[in-house]
Amino acid sequence: MLVPSGQLSPLQQHLLQELDLCDLPAPEGAPEAYLARDLDTDEIRDALPTLVWAGLVERRDGDPDTLALTPLGAATLRAAECDELTARLSAVAAFADTVSMGAEPRSAGLALRRLAEGTWTLEQAKSYVRTGETGAGRS
């Protein structure tokens, strides 16, 4: 069972990634644990009921003040990460068409690296190869 929308929000994915590393205290008990991970405790408190309801996160039986990732949560996180990587690989493959049209190797190499890292979108990479600008004020 996924979250009601069928996809994880960036906040939900970030929280699941953190819980994949280690259990966390409940946000009301130790907000500093979330602040150190660049997570807003109010947003986490709002997101938790959905994640618990969906079976992705649980409060430990022996310690209800501790949050843990469930096996379903781990599988959902892996699926979301796989979807991101699939989209990134698809963009890299599509970028090959731009490179095959005779792009300058140096700019194509940088654009390919940024695209593969997920720093740039396909449109930004193509724009950089064509014009030297990403179209987003970054180059």
User: What is the DSSP annotation of 83-135?
Assistant: HHHHHHHHHHHHHHHHHHTT--HHHHHHHHHHHHHTSS-HHHHHHHHHHS--S
Sign of CA dihedral 117, 122, 124, 125: positive
Are residues 93 and 54 located together in one domain of the fold?
no
CA distances from 91 to 10, 17, 28, 121, 125 (A): 20, 24, 41, 8, 10
Find the domain containing 110 and state its range. Answer: 83-130
Structurally, the chain folds into a number of domains equal to 2
Collapsed DSSP state (helix, strand, coil) of residue 32: helix
Is 1 part of a structural domain of the chain? no
Final residue in a domain of this structure, among 46, 69, 92: 69
Residue 9 pLDDT? 92
Asked if 55 and 91 sit in the same domain, the reply is: no
Please enumerate in sequence order all residues whose Cβ is within 8 A of that of 118, keeping only pairs 6 or more positions apart, or say none: 84, 88
Q: What is the pLDDT along the chain (139 residues), one digit of tens a residue?
A: 445 556 899 999 999 999 999 999 999 889 999 999 999 999 999 999 999 999 999 988 777 789 999 999 999 999 999 999 999 999 988 888 778 777 777 888 889 899 999 899 999 998 898 888 877 654 4
Cα(40)–Cα(34) distance, rounded to whole angstroms?
A: 7
Instruction: Name every residue whose Cβ is closer than 8 Å to that of residue 129 and which is 6 or more positions away in sequence.
Output: 98, 99, 103, 104, 107, 108, 111
- 52's CB contacts (< 8 A; 6+ apart) are 58, 59
Among the candidates 69, 97, 115, a domain finishes at 69
pLDDT given at position 138 = 46
